[in-house]
Amino acid sequence: MKPRILIVEDEPGIADTLQYALRTDGFEPAWCATGAEALERIGAAAPALVILDVGLPDASGFEIFKRIRATSEVPVVFLTARSEESDRIVGLELGADDYVTKPFSPRELVARVRAVLRRGGGEEVPDLLLHGELEIDVPAREVRLRGDEVRLAAREFDLLAFLARHPRRVFTREQIMQSVWGYTAAIDTGTLSVHVRRLREKIEDDPRAPRRIETVWNVGYRFVA
């Protein structure tokens, strides 16, 4: 069964281009032009991923994203003409899995969609990762801290699982981006930093003095068991 991708974009030309690129690459694209219709479609039949334009005619894509997250953890890639760093950071801090600015290469966007949907990567890992009070159930994609469930966005879970599989090993930012996101950004857009910060806020006792996800200055990050 082909992964179904919902495109929420009010410009028909862009939507047509995306649908063609996705269909050619083995996906099943669907399109709607408003946030209201997107919420209806996601509620009726959850897609594998949503490409969400920020500038919709009926509501901000950021607001629609918040409403999606109230009921669903479906991966979301923001699509927007806005290129300011502040807009990218807002989208990522809300919990989006990626952020693409117009104009864009359809092939690159499809590659990012595939990277977001990819889980694992063929690497054999234990079903359950236990690190002190932190428990990571890989098949169930669930995390518990001192027995209490910790809700993570899809990309936050992928990042945590990747680091936790290799305790105390230091990974560069480029290695993490390639392994978790499936590509290495030519220019650091803050994607990794934002996700690390959000993850620390959820699993660290004091996010300002992290004990589980450590920063190795001028190199990258490591997970400390």
pLDDT given for residue 189 in this prediction: 57
Residue 196: its pLDDT value, please? 95
Overall pTM > 0.85: no
Q: What pLDDT score was predicted for residue 84?
A: 63
The whole-number mean pLDDT for each consecutive block of 10 residues of the chain, a chain of 225 residues, reads: 90 93 88 95 89 93 93 89 70 82 84 74 57 88 93 92 88 85 64 93 95 92 90
User: In sequence order, which residues have a C-beta less than 8 Å from that of residue 177 and are 6 or more positions away?
Assistant: 183, 184, 185, 191, 192
| The pLDDT value given to residue 169 | 87
Domains of the chain, first to last:
4-117 (3.40.50.2300), 128-223 (1.10.10.10)
